[in-house]
Amino acid sequence: MRIDVLTIFPEMVEGFASASLLGKGRRNGLLDVRVHDLRSVAADPHRSVDDAPFGGGAGMVLMAEPIFATVEAVDPPRPLLALGPGGRRFDQAMARELAATGGFSLLCGRYEGIDHRVHANLVDGEVSIGDYVLAGGEVAAMVILEAVGRLVPGVMGNVNSAEDESFSDGLLEYPQYTRPASLRGLAVPEVLLSGDHGRIARWRRAQSLVRTAGDRPDLWQARGGLLPGEERLLAEFGLAVPGAAAHPGR
């Protein structure tokens, strides 16, 4: 998979893409991440990439020409997606969609925005990572690189596929513990030390249900609440979710 990133802060994105999971995927030849410096194609002696907005106003606008010139020079994979708060909200489903393509490109805006001619004539879509304003698109691009990169087969081994299934079924993860079994008087739940793998799996499922219902009512509602048999599963561990009416076990 090839992912191109167009930015005026290439060292920031390059450093991220070289480290950790993405760097390993790159070295293994599974990920072809190419970071392009918009400044390197700037024609003037000052290598300008931004200018004041026509019509006046505060701040600076990213110029169109360096972006057009970079796209012409490197022929980046499509779709070319601009990061910005006005775009389609990035989520795990979009990460899966992008991971299933041969590649795509990310355009990082800065300052007060990008010359609109880029949006109207060059970019294929806009993507937002959430409802807040960043100083630029680089952090958003890195979020997408990591979320998509880890889904590319081989990049994380095979440990993530089952784990991601559990997110795609709309539930939060169950709580995790590691050694020691007792720490500062705080014990690990007894079931996890029991060796009863069936009971452990049921406990984890029950924990995921309770956590999702309690912490993420939006996910819980989208899932449709409890499914048949799950009330009984919770009862095995003395648990219940808010709003689920207790009823006699006969």
Q: In the block, which residue shows the tokens 């029991």?
A: 194
Integer Cα distance of 60 and 34 in angstroms: 26
Of 48, 101, 128, 160, which lies in the binding site for ligand JCQ, with binding defined by CB under 6 A?
Answer: 128
Q: Which stretch binds ligand JCQ (CB under 6 A): 22-30, 91-99, 134-142, 201-209?
A: 134-142
| Binding status of residue 113 toward ligand JCQ by CB under 6 A | yes
Tokens matching residue 41: 């194609």
Q: Which stretch binds ligand JCQ (CB under 6 A): 127-135, 161-169, 184-192, 201-209?
A: 127-135
Q: Which stretch binds ligand JCQ (CB under 6 A): 109-117, 195-203, 214-222, 239-247?
A: 109-117
**C-beta of 133: minimal distance to ligand JCQ in Å?**
5
Of 12, 35, 61, 129, which lies in the binding site for ligand JCQ, with binding defined by CB under 6 A?
Answer: 129
Instruction: Name which of 92 and 161 has its Cβ closer to ligand JCQ.
Output: 92
| Binding status of residue 51 toward ligand JCQ by CB under 6 A | no
| Binding status of residue 63 toward ligand JCQ by CB under 6 A | no
Q: Which stretch binds ligand JCQ (CB under 6 A): 14-22, 63-71, 133-141, 238-246?
A: 133-141
Instruction: Name which of 108 and 171 has its Cβ closer to ligand JCQ.
Output: 108
| Binding status of residue 120 toward ligand JCQ by CB under 6 A | no
**C-beta of 132: minimal distance to ligand JCQ in Å?**
6
SS (H, E, C) the chain: CEEEEEECCHHHHHHHHHCHHHHHHHHCCCCEEEEEEHHHHCCCCCCCCEECCCCCCCCCEECHHHHHHHHHHHCCCCCEEEEEEEEEECCHHHHHHHHCCCEEEEECCECCCECHHHHHHCCCEEEECCCCCCCECHHHHHHHHHHHHCCCCEEEEEHHHHHHHHHHCCCCCCCCCCCCCEECCEECCHHHHCCCHHHHHHHHHHHHHHHHHHHCHHHHHHHCCCCCCHHHHHHHCCCCCCCCCCCCCC
| Binding status of residue 114 toward ligand JCQ by CB under 6 A | yes
**C-beta of 60: minimal distance to ligand JCQ in Å?**
11
| Binding status of residue 25 toward ligand JCQ by CB under 6 A | no
Q: Which stretch binds ligand JCQ (CB under 6 A): 36-44, 80-88, 149-157, 198-206?
A: 80-88
Contact between 154 and 28 (Cβ < 8 Å): yes
Can you say whether residue 56 is alpha, beta or left, with left for phi > 0 and alpha for psi between -120 and 50 degrees? left
Residues found near ligand JCQ in the complex (CB under 6 A): 82-85, 109, 113-114, 128-130, 132-134, 136-137, 140
